[in-house]
Structure 1
Amino acid sequence: MRYRGKLYRALNPVYAREPVSGRGSQLHGGRFNPKGMAALYCATSLHTAIREANQVGDLQPTTIICYEADIESVFDGRDPGALKRFGITPAALADPTWRDQMKAAGKARTQIFAETLIANGFDGLLVRSFARGATDDDMNLILWTWSNSAPYRLTLIDDEGRLDKI
C-alpha cells in the first residue's frame, strides 16, 4: 500500500537536532528493528505519538515533530491475511515480551518479521499502536527506508527553522 499524509513523532529532545536520523532506534533496537538498524517510529496522529512516547512513568520532556510523507511501499499490518502470508499473527505483533526475546536470542520475532518485510521490498509497516491505552484507531508507521525524494519521501515540517535554533 502507499501512505500519503502527515506523520508525527514525539522525540526525546536528545535527538531533536536529528529528527530524521533514526539514531535512537539504531542504538537500542525497537519492536520492529534490531539494534544496528535505523528506523523511524512515527504515528498517524499527534495523540498517538504522545501516547507512544509516554509508555512508562510520567511524561518526560518531549519534542514534537511533524512530517509530510509519501511512502510508496508500506506493508499493512492491519491485514491478518497478509500477516499470515509472512508467518506472523496480530497477537505476535502485540507480544509485550519482544525486549526479552531480543535479550535472550539477539532478535525478537517482530524484528525478524521486519527484516523479512524489508527483504521483500517494503519501506515501512503500518500497524496499530501497542502503547498503554491505545485503541485500534491509534496507528503507527515504522519506516526503514526514507529520504527527501520518491519513492519514500519524508519531509520534515519546520518552515520557521525552529530546530536549527536548538
Structure 2
Amino acid sequence: MPFRGKLYRALNPVYAREPLSGRGAELYGGRFNPKGVPALYASLSVMTALREANQVGNLQPTTLVSYDAEIERVLDGRDVAELASLGMDASTLAASNWRDEMKTRGIARTQEFARQAIADGYQALLVRSFAVGAKDDDFNLVLWQWADVAPSKLILIDDEHRLSRSP
C-alpha cells in the first residue's frame, strides 16, 4: 500500500542536524532494523513521535521535525494475512523483549522480519506504536528506504533552514 502525508520525528538533539540520516538506528538497531541497517522511525502524529522518543523516564531534550512523505511500497502491519505471509503476527510485533533477543540471539525476530520485508522490496512498515501511553490509533511509519524522489520520497520540512544554521 502507498503512504502519502505528513510524518513526525522527535529526535535526540545529537542527531538534530541530520534528520534524514537514520544513523542512530543504524548504530544501535531498533525494533524493526538490525544494527547496520539504517532506518527512520517516524510517526503519523506529533504526540506519538514524542512518546516514541521519550520512552524511559522523564521528558528529555528533543528536537521535533516533520516531513512530507510519498512512499509507494508500505507493508501494512495491521494486515494479519500479510504479516503471516512473512512469518509474523501482531503479538510478536508488540513483544517488549526484542532488545533481550538482540543480546541473546544476535538479532530479534522483529529485525529478521524487517530484513525479509526489505528483501521483498518494501520501503517502509506501517505499525502501531508500542510506546508507553500509545493508543490503538497511534501509528508509526518505519522507513528502510528514503530519498528526495519517488518511489520513496521523504522531504524534510525546514522552509526557514533552521537546522542548517550554525549553532
Establish whether TM, by shorter chain, passes 0.5: yes
Amino acid at match of 1:48: T
What is the count of residue pairs matched by the alignment? 166
Unaligned 5+ segments in structure 1 are none
Amino acid at match of 2:14: V
Looking at structure 2, the residues matched to 25 and 86 of structure 1 have their Cα atoms a distance apart, in angstroms, of 22
SS at match of 2:163: helix
SS at match of 1:25: helix
- 1:9 positional shift: 0.1
In the TM superposition, what whole-angstrom CA distance separates every residue of 1:39-64 from its partner, at most 9, and x where no partner exists? 00000000100010111000000000
Match of residue 56 from structure 1: 56
Looking at structure 1, the residues matched to 23 and 54 of structure 2 have their Cα atoms a distance apart, in angstroms, of 19
TM-score w.r.t. the length of structure 2 is 0.98
Match of residue 161 from structure 2: 161
In the TM superposition, what whole-angstrom CA distance separates every residue of 1:22-46 from its partner, at most 9, and x where no partner exists? 0000010000000011000000000
Unaligned 5+ segments in structure 2 are none
Looking at structure 1, the residues matched to 146 and 106 of structure 2 have their Cα atoms a distance apart, in angstroms, of 25
SS at match of 2:111: helix
Match of residue 44 from structure 1: 44
Match of residue 88 from structure 2: 88
SS at match of 1:162: coil
1:28 aligns with 2:28: yes
Looking at structure 1, the residues matched to 146 and 99 of structure 2 have their Cα atoms a distance apart, in angstroms, of 25
SS at match of 1:133: coil
In the TM superposition, what whole-angstrom CA distance separates every residue of 1:86-141 from its partner, at most 9, and x where no partner exists? 11110000000000000111100000000000010100000000001111100000
- 1:80 positional shift: 1.1
Match of residue 6 from structure 2: 6
- 1:81 positional shift: 1.4
Looking at structure 2, the residues matched to 161 and 95 of structure 1 have their Cα atoms a distance apart, in angstroms, of 39
- 1:84 positional shift: 1.1
TM-score w.r.t. the length of structure 1 is 0.99
Match of residue 136 from structure 1: 136
Looking at structure 2, the residues matched to 4 and 26 of structure 1 have their Cα atoms a distance apart, in angstroms, of 25
Q: Report sequence identity in percent.
A: 62
Runs of 4+ that moved beyond 4 A: none
